[in-house]
Structure formats: C-alpha cells, structure tokens
Amino acid sequence: MTNLPHFARFWMVCRKPTGPRSKTEPRARYSSFEDAMTAAQKLSKENNAQFHVLETVATARPGDIEQETLL
C-alpha cells in the first residue's frame, strides 16, 4: 500500500471520471477508509453515479530530490 505514517494518511471521494476533461474535484478529507466509503456510497445513491475513494500514497515536498511512488 503506502509507506506514509498513519498520521499522514487520508482518503478523499470523487466522482468517477467520464472522459479526459472530466472534473472529479474531491473536496473533503476523511481520516478513515470506512468514513470515506460511507460518504462515497451516500453520494453514489444521491447522484445515481459512481464515486471513487482515493488514498494518499506519497507526499512531495519542496526540495525533495526523489519522489516516492508505488509504481
């Protein structure tokens, strides 16, 4: 998964992109996957659309030489 410390992890919810110019615009942060999933399910039902749960996997800081990613 991620090698970020627990305090640095968070989740966000966004609408599933429908094309290359789609705006997903996640706006709220959740401190647990469960809270984010609950929000995604609620939004999905209210909007009759698919929503994704996003998780932080790396942090880039000014001055960092290397970027850590999962790829």
pLDDT reading at 67 higher than 60: no
Q: Is residue 50 part of a domain?
A: yes
Structural domain tally of the chain?
1
pTM given for the model: 0.71
Those residues whose C-beta lies under 8 Å from the C-beta of residue 27, and which sit 6 or more positions away, are 12
Task: Assess if residue 48 is contained within a domain.
Answer: yes
CA distance 16 to 28: 16
* Residue 33 is assigned to a structural domain of this protein: yes
- Residue 12 in any domain: the answer is yes
Average pLDDT over residues 1-18: 81
3-state secondary structure of 36: helix
- Tens of pLDDT, residue by residue over 14-52, are 988 888 998 888 889 999 999 999 999 999 999 999 999
Integer Cα distance of 48 and 66 in angstroms: 41
> In terms of residue numbers, what domain contains 37?
6-17+26-55
Q: How much is the pLDDT for 48?
A: 95
Residue 44: is it exposed, middle or buried by C-beta count within 10 angstroms (0-12/13-18/19+)?
middle
Let me know if residue 11 belongs to a domain.
yes
